[in-house]
Structure 1
Amino acid sequence: MRADLADTGTAAAPAISDAIRDAILRGEFVPNQRLVESDLADQFGASRSAVRLALLELMNEGLIERVRNRGARVRAVSLDEAVEICDVRLMLEPLCASLAATRADASERFRLHALGEAMRTAVDDVDLAGQSELNHQLHTLVRKLSAHHTATHILERLRAQSVLHRFRLTTRPGRARESLTEHLAIISAICDGDPDRAADATRRHLRAVLSALQQTTESPAGEARELTGREN
């Protein structure tokens, strides 16, 4: 993957940050993976100074960490921290869903219904990559429809930090079908213009995610590579 981000240093850093962040979200860069400046510069068609600035920004977001004598790597989030992140999502995502229910217009409701049908097909086809992408699209759309910029900013940063544990949840027996039912309930409530039901459906979904997380045990190193691109 080469993004060909022509740059002049500082000006290109935000675009490179976005590209690296997206790679982490997609599982292309996994927790504890080293990020070598020269390799990233070649991959994204950027200067090393621009890459260095981008990595600094991602360090401030908690996605990247510096290891003495080894450079930068994708930060691994502990199970306890992932549970705390889900606690925060429980406070903010129901708010976004509630606001989305009051603001979605006819075209946006049509798009939500279409996403729901596509999610149903992906689960029926056991299309894990498709499920991940569609789930991501749904959560992103709900945040966008809420028009709550502060909550959206916080949630987008937290999503990236808990990526490994989302990968693990997808492998739990029956979780994909449960997640589909939960997401369809959120879609139905928003499309019906019912903010209270949208918030309640979102809480039920996140409580199920939290319950599954709390039952998760630490897995062997390298598991994330086998579970690339999956999301609860």
Structure 2
Amino acid sequence: MLVVRDVVRGLYEGRYIPGQRLVEPDLVRYYGVGRSTVREALKQLTADGIVVTYAFRGAQIRKLTRAEAANLFAITEVMLGLVARQAADHMDSKEKRERLQAHFSAIANHSESDGHFAFLQHRNRYFRVLIDIGRNEEILRLLPRLQVHLIRNHAILPPTERIKGYRRITQAVLRGDGQGAEHVTRQYIASIASSTLPYFPE
């Protein structure tokens, strides 16, 4: 659905921010759709945990507390660590190695002038490749439910640090080092959490 996709993209790009109200008539005019379409989109966003609705106040983008953000990071760390471990354990062909290297190269060669959303697309494709190599379709179903875009405005590392983190993950996976791949992946997510959580209200 157009409205749902654009609100999520807008969170990544900073057009929408946690705590922002979503007023139905404004959304109708902005997207050029009917009120029923907007209401369905808000229901979907609410079901996905992106929007909260209050009586007499309408809908707004969910604003995480520090504890909620910490829980989100903790779950993400475990899940992505598992993704990296399983990919390393199944890294058994030249084709898989080349696919992973190609997606890491897309991250490493990303230009900041292309925008942060373009980087996030490279990142998402990178992890989808890891999931595919690791043969865990359950992770593929669960991962989109983690509302990481709700912490996007706080969780921007310098490009050099991002590349360093993904390089370490890629190298461990390519070596077939499951334990090492899980460790460096969890370490990378934990480093993002430690620099991000102080920005959330208690």
Identify whether the pair has TM-score above 0.5, normalized to the shorter chain. yes
Structure 2 counterpart SS, 1:170: coil
Residue 188 of structure 1: which of 148, 158, 171 is its match? 171
Structure 2 counterpart SS, 1:108: helix
1: CA distance, partners of 2:199 / 2:35: 38
In 1, are the aligned partners of 2:100 and 2:129 still within 8 Å (CA)?
no
Give the CA deviation at 1:218.
4.3
Alignment of 1:56-135 (within 5 A): 56-101=43-88, 102=90, 105-119=96-110, 122=111, 127=112, 130=115, 133-135=118-120
Structure 1 counterpart SS, 2:52: strand
Give the CA deviation at 1:131.
5.3
In 1, are the aligned partners of 2:81 and 2:183 still within 8 Å (CA)?
yes
2: CA distance, partners of 1:25 / 1:130: 10
**1:173-196 superposed Cα distances (whole Å, 9 cap, x missing partner):** xx5433331121112223444433
Give the CA deviation at 1:93.
0.5
Moved beyond 6 Å, runs of 4+: none
Q: 1 or 2 for the larger relative contact order (CA 8 Å, sep ≥6)?
A: 2
**1:125-171 superposed Cα distances (whole Å, 9 cap, x missing partner):** xx3874563255224421343133332333323244532xx422437
| 1:152 to 2:127 alignment | no
Structure 2, unpaired ranges of 5+: none
Aligned residues: 194
In 1, are the aligned partners of 2:131 and 2:139 still within 8 Å (CA)?
no
Structure 1, unpaired ranges of 5+: 1-13, 220-232
| 1:142 to 2:142 alignment | no
In 2, are the aligned partners of 1:190 and 1:198 still within 8 Å (CA)?
yes
2: CA distance, partners of 1:183 / 1:159: 21
In 1, are the aligned partners of 2:62 and 2:150 still within 8 Å (CA)?
no
2: CA distance, partners of 1:130 / 1:195: 32
Amino acid at match of 1:77: L
Describe the shift of the 1:128–1:193 C-alpha distance in structure 2 as closer, same or farther (beyond 3 A).
farther
In 2, are the aligned partners of 1:100 and 1:145 still within 8 Å (CA)?
yes
Amino acid at match of 1:154: L
% of aligned pairs identical? Answer: 23
